[in-house]
Amino acid sequence: TAIMRCTMGAMGIDSEYVRNWLGSGDAGIPHRGIYHYVITEDSAAMQANNILRVTGGDWGDEPLTLDCEPRSNEAPFTLAQKQVYTALVRRMLDLLAVHGRVRVYTSAGAWAFLTTLSAWAEGVVDWIADPDPVAAPDLPPGVTTWRRWQYSWTGRVDGIGTDVDLNRDS
């Protein structure tokens, strides 16, 4: 499986997306998907439109992944900011679900930093980043199951000369 960054916020497009998408298909990778980095300040509609404009609604045979992580320069969110971000992600899920499956990628700490820990997260927040090599990842409060666990950011695979993320499915 290969999941590649496609878009960021309302206008961003990963400069390597097209090359990575085509190259992964040419390499015969059987399961491909994309992810979108959610930008706090951009509306859900504008971000959803960016994804659909770039992909034409084709995000492979994996669920479209919304990458929910704070930027390195973001200060801890206030309750009001968490409420806004939570509503943003929920709205994006609603807008995009009519086009295919959508999931959220985050870590326990990032989800607590960004959101009000909504009950709807169970089953949607199912790709968890946690580099601690134990039997299972730490889950955000209110999330009891996971489907994919990113356990390393420094993996190596044939054909890619830089670090790649490594994941395990449940």
Local confidence band at 140 (pLDDT 50, 70, 90 cut-offs): very high
> For 1-15, 26-40, 129-143, which range has the lowest pLDDT when averaged over its residues?
129-143
β-strand pairing of 125-129 with 148-155: parallel
**By percentage, how much of the chain surpasses pLDDT 70?**
99
Tell me how far apart the alpha carbons of residues 164 and 89 are, in angstroms, rounded to a whole number.
Answer: 26
3-class secondary structure per residue, 17-51: HHHHHHHHHHCCCCCEEEEEECCCCCCHHHHHHHH
Q: What is the pLDDT of residue 35?
A: 98
Residue 59 pLDDT greater than 80, yes or no: yes
Q: Summarize the confidence of residues 110-116 as an average pLDDT.
A: 94
Which residue from 134, 126, 131 is spatially nearest to 150, judged by alpha carbons? Answer: 131
More confident residue, 88 or 136: 88
Q: To the nearest 10°, the Cα dihedral for 19, 68, 45, 42?
A: -100
Tokens of 166: 């490594």
Q: What is the pLDDT of residue 61?
A: 93
Tell me how far apart the alpha carbons of residues 71 and 74 are, in angstroms, rounded to a whole number.
Answer: 5
Tokens of 163: 């670090």
Which residue from 41, 36, 38 is spatially nearest to 17, judged by alpha carbons? Answer: 36
Q: Summarize the confidence of residues 58-70 as an average pLDDT.
A: 95
Tokens of 87: 């509503």
Q: Which amino acid is at 87?
A: A
Which uninterrupted H or E stretch holds 114? Answer: helix 108-114
